[in-house]
Amino acid sequence: MGFERFGTVSFVSQTKVAKFVDFLDEGSLMGTKCKSCGTKYFPPRNDCAECLSSDMEWFEITGPGKLVTYSKLMYAPSGFEKDLPYRICVVEYPDGVKVFGRISPSISDEELSIGMDLVAVPVKLSGDKVAYEFRRP
Amino acid sequence: MQKVGIIGVGQSAFVRGYEGSIRELVFEGFSEAMRDAQIKPQDIQASIICSAPEYDKQRTPAGLMAEYLGLNPQPTFYIESVCSSSSMGLRVAFSMIQAGLHDVVAVIGFQKMSEISSAESQERMGRGADIMWESPFGTMMPAYYAMHARAHMNTYGTTEEDLALIRVKAASYGQINEKAVYRKGVTLEKALESDPVSTPLKVFDCCANADGSSCIIVASEEMAKKLSPKPVWILGLGAASAPINMAGRTTFTGLTCAREAAKQAYDMAGVGPGDIDVAEVHDCFTIAEMMAYEDLGFAEPGKGKELIRNKETYIGGKIPVNVDGGLLSKGHPIGATGGSQIRTITLQLRGEAGPMQVDGAKIGLVHNIGGVGIYGNVTIFGRDE
């Protein structure tokens, strides 16, 4: 339990990487790194697909990364209507790790450009839920 | 290796709000394929049922369909790779025939999407992505493809008008396809003025949800020659996968699973992109067709826009694509879509495509994608001289 606190609507409650949510509470966006072969993962994983080890450690995603692509949704799947409109994106960090998430409302559509610097910031949502969003550094 | 052929094809009309149950919907495509092949249910040695779950309430639909279609006691089972389910079904049928297990196999695809609301449908499709890490942000298929469109525009200078031109082409052929759900023409202005769904994609950049079924009868070389005056042969099959999570993707200007599947299919068939006379590509969104031009090698990366600007993908052009209206106008009943694409190419190679016929088509290609480039299937077909 615990992971159901992640995002506007969560579809998974149990995972061995549920500590991710605790890290968001503490203000950090974390991925996992394989202690055996060094492969870095975001989203975090409990198990390494490269060397099949399950001996992982957490590392912090620090920014800034660069905006790879994005889209602004004018329609939403059921459960997300009240968030409209919102923007989803992919951001790539210098070490090659990519992170999917939403862009903060603090950045206007006009300010957005592919390649711009963004940082991931944990945010509190209503109903004791947590997530992260991308803001200007 | 023996050859494997298509000896019968069928599909229901693709419609909004089919007034019947899924078994009756499936019967429409199946019965048309059986009449086309001129065989009876007991001539089918195994059936493969293809759809995406959670649109209707039926669990394990293969058992239901086999009974309703008169296919007991032969083996039946279910194959799922969302939107490419029936192309994957064809791949499995090919394998079973090559292995000598069966001589005649039916690949049956269906989807009745109208049992749930559009928002519920988007929610289900959104869960066809990574439900742990992406769905909690409120994702849906148009948004994922929109991110690819944004990347393609930024990298190659592709414009919203280029994408709209793909919709105009689809609509021009959808008008003459009596099985299509959207039978109206679309002008460039109308496409460009339509409301945004997920920027930069608009309403007319998106395919229509539909209810429909399809059926492909696949046979061994010996049986195909015995039963069919005009068998269409499977020359090459390619299948590949890519990370479900966008964070795992290496590019957003194309689909790596399509590129890999295309390479496999071209190699197996011993042909190249320039040999293809007519193609069906997975245009769930206009950007998906643009990327398909490039992923299949019909155009160099970034040059897909030249193909549509110069009408090279119309009948009479260098490589006619989706001249049955595509998913954009024909509609996209998920599990039935691949079978419908295969049907179109089979009719083209037999010279039976009516007003949509590409004269003298000898080699055809089907590009069928599951999810946002999770599953890629490319299949190449040919006919006897």
**Residues of B with CB below 8 A from A79's CB?**
123, 138
Give the domain-ending residue among B170, B199, B232: B232
Count other C-beta atoms under 10 Å from residue A72's C-beta. 21
> B268: pLDDT confidence band, cut at 50, 70 and 90?
very high
**Residues of A with CB below 8 A from B245's CB?**
43, 100
B258 and B190 inside one domain: yes
The number of distinct structural domains making up chain B is 2
**pLDDT tens, A6-25?**
999 999 999 999 999 999 99
Q: What is the CA angle B94-B95-B97, rounded to 5?
A: 65
- Taking the C-alpha atoms of residue A86 and residue B265, their distance in angstroms, rounded to an integer, is 40
What per-residue confidence (pLDDT) applies to B120? Answer: 81
Question: Which chain B residue has its CA at the smallest distance from A115's CA?
Answer: B154
> B127: pLDDT confidence band, cut at 50, 70 and 90?
confident
> B208: pLDDT confidence band, cut at 50, 70 and 90?
confident
Of B102, B152, B332, B367, catalytic: B332
DSSP state of A27: T
Percent of all residues in chain B with a pLDDT value above 90, rounded to a whole number: 95
Q: Which two tokens stand for residue B257?
A: 């699973």
Strand runs labelled E in A4-85: 30-34, 40-41, 56-60, 65-73
> B1: pLDDT confidence band, cut at 50, 70 and 90?
confident
Question: Which chain B residue has its CA at the smallest distance from A133's CA?
Answer: B137
Q: Is the pLDDT of residue B122 over 80?
A: no
- Answer whether residue B122 is part of any domain: no
B145 and B170 inside one domain: yes
Asked if the Cβ–Cβ distance from B247 to A42 is below 8 Å, we say yes
Of the candidates A11, A15, A78, which has its C-beta nearest B119's C-beta? A78
Q: What is the ipTM of this complex?
A: 0.97
B80 and B217 inside one domain: yes
Give the domain-ending residue among B167, B200, B232: B232
Known catalytic membership, residue B83: yes
What per-residue confidence (pLDDT) applies to B25? Answer: 98
Identify whether the C-beta of residue A55 lies closer than 8 Å to the C-beta of residue A35.
yes
> B118: pLDDT confidence band, cut at 50, 70 and 90?
confident
For residue A39, the SS3 value is coil
Q: Which two tokens stand for residue B56?
A: 């209707």
- Taking the C-alpha atoms of residue A102 and residue A80, their distance in angstroms, rounded to an integer, is 13
> B300: pLDDT confidence band, cut at 50, 70 and 90?
very high
B190 and B297 inside one domain: yes
Question: Which chain A residue has its CA at the smallest distance from B195's CA?
Answer: A74
Asked if the Cβ–Cβ distance from B198 to A86 is below 8 Å, we say no
- Answer whether residue B38 is part of any domain: yes
- Taking the C-alpha atoms of residue A81 and residue A103, their distance in angstroms, rounded to an integer, is 17
User: What is the extent of the structural domain holding B328?
Assistant: 138-208+236-383
B155 and B218 inside one domain: no
B199 and B226 inside one domain: no
**Residues of A with CB below 8 A from B195's CB?**
74
Nearest by Cα to A121 from A113, A111, A107, A110: A107
A105 and chain B: CB distance < 8 Å anywhere? no
Question: Which chain B residue has its CA at the smallest distance from A99's CA?
Answer: B247
Q: Name the phi and psi angles at B204, rounded to 5.
A: -80, 0
Identify whether the C-beta of residue B29 lies closer than 8 Å to the C-beta of residue B35.
no
B228 and B342 inside one domain: no
- Answer whether residue B132 is part of any domain: no
- Taking the C-alpha atoms of residue B45 and residue B61, their distance in angstroms, rounded to an integer, is 18
Residues 6+ apart with CB under 8 A from B338: B50, B83, B84, B85, B86, B87, B88, B89, B90, B109, B214, B366, B368, B377
Q: How many helices (H) and strands (E) does chain A have?
A: 1, 8
- Taking the C-alpha atoms of residue B38 and residue B7, their distance in angstroms, rounded to an integer, is 9
Residues 6+ apart with CB under 8 A from B19: none
B318 and B307 inside one domain: yes
CATH number at residue B8: 3.40.47.10
- Taking the C-alpha atoms of residue A126 and residue A43, their distance in angstroms, rounded to an integer, is 23
Identify whether the C-beta of residue B136 lies closer than 8 Å to the C-beta of residue A131.
yes
Buried b (16+ CB within 10 A) or exposed e, B182-198: beeebeeebbbebebbb
- Answer whether residue B133 is part of any domain: no
**pLDDT tens, A46-88?**
999 999 999 999 999 998 999 999 999 999 988 899 999 999 9
Asked if the Cβ–Cβ distance from B138 to A86 is below 8 Å, we say yes
Please state, rounded to an integer, the average pLDDT across all residues of chain B: 97
Known catalytic membership, residue B282: no
Asked if the Cβ–Cβ distance from B138 to A77 is below 8 Å, we say yes
State which H helix or E strand residue B90 sits in.
Answer: helix B85-98
**Cα B377 from chain centroid (whole Å):** 9
Of the candidates A9, A43, A76, which has its C-beta nearest B133's C-beta? A43
- Taking the C-alpha atoms of residue A96 and residue B118, their distance in angstroms, rounded to an integer, is 37
> B171: pLDDT confidence band, cut at 50, 70 and 90?
very high
**pLDDT tens, B57-71?**
999 999 999 999 999
- Taking the C-alpha atoms of residue B102 and residue B291, their distance in angstroms, rounded to an integer, is 37
Asked if the Cβ–Cβ distance from A98 to B146 is below 8 Å, we say no
Give A109 to chain B, closest Cα distance, Å: 11
B183 and B219 inside one domain: no
- Answer whether residue B130 is part of any domain: no
Q: Which two tokens stand for residue B45?
A: 């040695």
Rg of chain B in Å (alpha carbons)? 19
- Answer whether residue B299 is part of any domain: yes
- Answer whether residue B303 is part of any domain: yes
B108 and B254 inside one domain: no
Nearest by Cα to B369 from B164, B141, B169: B141
B360 and B262 inside one domain: yes
- Answer whether residue B128 is part of any domain: no
Q: What is the DSSP string of B136-198?
A: GG---HHHHHHHHHHHHHHHH---HHHHHHHHHHHHHHHTT-TT-S--S---HHHHHHSPEEE
**pLDDT tens, B48-106?**
999 999 999 999 999 999 999 999 999 999 999 999 999 999 999 999 999 999 999 99
Q: How many helices (H) and strands (E) does chain B have?
A: 13, 11
Q: Of chain A residues 45-64, which have a CB less than 8 A from chain B?
A: none
Tell me if the bond preceding A85 is cis, omega within 30° of 0. Answer: yes
B102 and B171 inside one domain: no
